[in-house]
Amino acid sequence: MLKLLGRLVEGIAPRPSGPMTEARRHNPDAVVDCAVYHNGRRKPGTVHYASAHRRRGEFVWLGLHEPDVVTMRTVAETFGLHELIVDQTTEGGHRPLVETVGEVTRLVLRTARYVEHEELTATSEVVDTGDVTLLIGPWFVITVRHGAAGALWQVRRDLQKRPELLRAGPWAVAYAVADQLVDDYLDVSLRVEHDLERLEEETFATRRSADVAHFYQLKREMVELKRAVLPLHEPLTRLTGAPPALHPYFEDVRGRLARATDRVTGFDDLLNSILQARLTQVTLEQNNDMRMIAAWAGIAAVPTVGAGIYGMNFANMPGIDSRYGFSATIVIVVLVCSGLFWRFKRAGWL
């Protein structure tokens, strides 16, 4: 009877709707995955972070996606995190940084992905960015992701195929995440480079060139990419807590990050050069239009002046009493206009 009454009350009570509600209904704790790794191998079975404990030779990898404050408070209590981390991880938009509070290292990385589009317009979204916060402790690593970019399921899958690397502990996860994000930077920069090449071809093509608004839209997207790539060099060089066995791996990540940085910074010069060429084209097009307008105005002035003079109705006007006066005037006007047209055409004004 009580169960039946509960179902009736549940059916009567209003339920909130929306995509966020649906996501919370299926994943109320925002947990993407939680696993325990022992000696480089994932232990079978499902694990809830609230029941995680420190055991010798094991570490926990908890993956979260846009958790709320209540969830992060529970996580902080379970893993002994500082209270400020709750506010820092529930909000996105952080710039890359690294800091150490007690035994926990907080590493923030920006994520980036290329948004496919058929053609570049004044409102095209080219680069989508987000951020990933890694909380690296002695027996756990927590990844908190904000935004659609930078999904880490592939990182976890690939890393689980390398047990010798997982034996290094939580810092192996930090390396794998940073490695994947830097690869994403290189991939995004390569695709953006193709967009720039296509924009350059359109600028110097014989048909109508790209609008100037397309350039400024791409420059705005480049700012997003630069905010993700350029500030990351300093945090990666300050990772002092990583075990010595992982230092060569992080050095490799820094090397590929330098390549991505060089490529992204070079985009500004290329884009500015193409933009200057397009602005020069616009100026030339405006000058050509003004010369064409001036040429046609000069040609139209000839019959206008003739009609204005003969329209004053004076008695002693040349050709007024002549039988061929009107015809001669028309012929003279046509000849003068034709001469002006030929002259302007030869000069390139028409």
Helix axes 247-310, 212-229, angle to 10 degrees: 160
Question: Model-level pTM?
Answer: 0.72
CA–CA separation, 264 and 310 (whole Å): 70
With a CB cutoff of 8 Å and minimum separation 6, the contacts of 310 are 317, 329
Cα 116 from Cα 180, distance rounded (Å): 20
* Digit-coded pLDDT (tens) for 13-27: 333 344 334 444 445
In tens, the pLDDT along 196-233 reads 888 777 777 656 555 667 777 777 888 888 888 999 99
Distance CA 160, CA 157 (A): 5
Neighbours of 97 (CB within 10 A): 15
**Whole-angstrom Cα distance, residue 105 to residue 82?**
11
Among residues of the chain, what percentage have pLDDT more than 90? 33
pLDDT tens column, 21-47: 444 444 556 889 999 999 999 998 778
Q: What is the pLDDT of residue 28?
A: 58
Q: How confident is the model at residue 124 (pLDDT cuts 50, 70, 90)?
A: confident
Over 70: is that where the pLDDT of 313 sits? Answer: no
Burial (Cβ within 10 Å: 0-12, 13-18, ≥19) of residue 110: buried
Cα separation values, 1 from 6, 8, 12, 13, Å? 9, 11, 17, 18
* pLDDT (tens digit per residue) in 291-306: 888 888 888 888 888 7
Position 133 confidence tier, pLDDT thresholds 50, 70, 90: very high
Condensed to tens digits (0 to 9), the pLDDT of residues 260-296 reads: 999 888 887 777 777 777 777 777 777 878 888 888 8
